[in-house]
Structure 1
């Protein structure tokens, strides 16, 4: 059986904001078909890692290969300068919180996620898949997002990201601020998505939501990865931070 290709290869990545160094010489490989849980407390670098991959940090150095193409570059200024190019090469970053426009409808938000020519052409099919993943949104398709509940808005935000033509999905704290039952429902929906030749990294504080559901759990502490670890080991280590 052929080995799965590397969707993401990060080597020696350091990144930060202004004089602050948040990520420290980090290495990470993500292969096609993988669903990885990135676990750590707030302030330990999960979001900064995602932003560095997307070219959104204040400064960074090191190698980042996305589908075999270098997207890392050494940056000292201009966060976001190359992000549009990185996105077109196959990255979808789904940030914390809602990040929505309250006056737009659910359908308009989902359409905005299909920004590449191929995704736009296939947007009707892609929306049907999103509605299958998040059934409550189907009846709300023409409703302004500002009228939705917190859980429904999170579904819209994640669904918009999943509309993209991407090979790597970075999902940042999908359960943040949600009631436990709703947060579990959102995570279960993410687990139901067929990755095929793509991959997904989910940053979470609540390891119980990921336990037994992802292919690997990786811990993050003060800007460094702790490597593969069982859910029980990671839970114990987080208690000691």
Structure 2
């Protein structure tokens, strides 16, 4: 479904990605692990067209998308939930969700998607007229995911969804991601909580300093001594 082939991304003269390649099959949850600064978010932003590649190719459903503008990539079914949530704090929950549907002109579908979001996150249904900036961190994460789902995406890119959340909220968010995937949506998950991510994912990639250094099934990565030592706090 998604092919990232030997992409390079630079910030000015500094190259942040050095030939990253990965693939995501339809219906999978694929996680990308790595320390801060490894290039995980840069990879997601390159897929979404926010950062342009200097080399390599990105294909979504066999179409080259790395030359497209970000909004055109969204229109093809690629949605991202950014790190830090980035909800529009001075807008209501309803208004944030409506902005997520800006590529969809079908009012009935927008209404269906909104109801789907409220079913996934009943707390948002209770706060439709509340300003997003007054929501808790967990509620803002729900809103950020809901906003992405409003565009009826085919693939969802999640960047650190557990960041700053209490353990019980993290568990709830991860269960929702599992439910979203079971409904047929493909997911790419960037996550510092490597253990939780690998328990959720089908496959995973490990990044270090702008490169993919390891890829395998999630179960094998969980059992890998080097992954345990670097990201899981030792064997358990």
TM over 0.5: yes
Partner residue, 2:100: 113
120 and 31 in structure 1: CA distance in 2 versus 1, 3 angstrom threshold: farther
Q: TM-score, normalised by structure 2?
A: 0.88
Give 4+ residue runs of structure 1 displaced > 6 Å after superposition.
Answer: none
144 and 19 in structure 1: CA distance in 2 versus 1, 3 angstrom threshold: same
1:8 has 2:2 as partner: yes
186 and 66 in structure 1: CA distance in 2 versus 1, 3 angstrom threshold: same
Gaps of 5+ in 1: 1-6, 74-80
1:236 has 2:229 as partner: yes
1:33 has 2:27 as partner: yes
Structure 2 contact 57–66 (Cα < 8 Å) conserved: yes
1:121 Cα deviation (Å)? Answer: 3.8
Map 1:59-78 → 2, pairs under 5 A = 59-73=53-67
Q: TM-score, normalised by structure 1?
A: 0.87
Q: Tell me, in whole angstroms, the C-alpha distance in 2 between the residues paired with 1:201 and 1:17.
A: 23
Gaps of 5+ in 2: none
1:59 Cα deviation (Å)? Answer: 4.7
Partner residue, 1:206: 193
1:211 Cα deviation (Å)? Answer: 3.3
Structure 1 contact 150–178 (Cα < 8 Å) conserved: yes
- Summarize deviations over 1:159-180 as a string: whole Å, max 9, x none: 1011112222111000111122
Partner residue, 2:215: 227
1:85 has 2:72 as partner: yes
Structure ranking higher in helix proportion: 2
Q: RMSD in angstroms over aligned alpha carbons?
A: 2.0
Q: Tell me, in whole angstroms, the C-alpha distance in 1 between the residues paired with 2:112 and 2:126.
A: 17
Instruction: Determine which of 134, 139, 142 is the counterpart of 1:152.
Output: 139
93 and 106 in structure 1: CA distance in 2 versus 1, 3 angstrom threshold: same
Instruction: Determine which of 38, 49, 55 is the counterpart of 1:55.
Output: 49
192 and 198 in structure 1: CA distance in 2 versus 1, 3 angstrom threshold: closer
Instruction: Determine which of 69, 84, 92 is the counterpart of 1:97.
Output: 84
Map 1:119-134 → 2, pairs under 5 A = 120-134=107-121
Q: Tell me, in whole angstroms, the C-alpha distance in 1 between the residues paired with 2:38 and 2:106.
A: 34
Partner residue, 1:163: 150
SS at match of 2:187: strand
Q: Tell me, in whole angstroms, the C-alpha distance in 1 between the residues paired with 2:62 and 2:106.
A: 22
Q: Tell me, in whole angstroms, the C-alpha distance in 2 between the residues paired with 1:186 and 1:138.
A: 16
Number of aligned residue pairs: give it.
Answer: 227
Q: Tell me, in whole angstroms, the C-alpha distance in 2 between the residues paired with 1:114 and 1:31.
A: 25
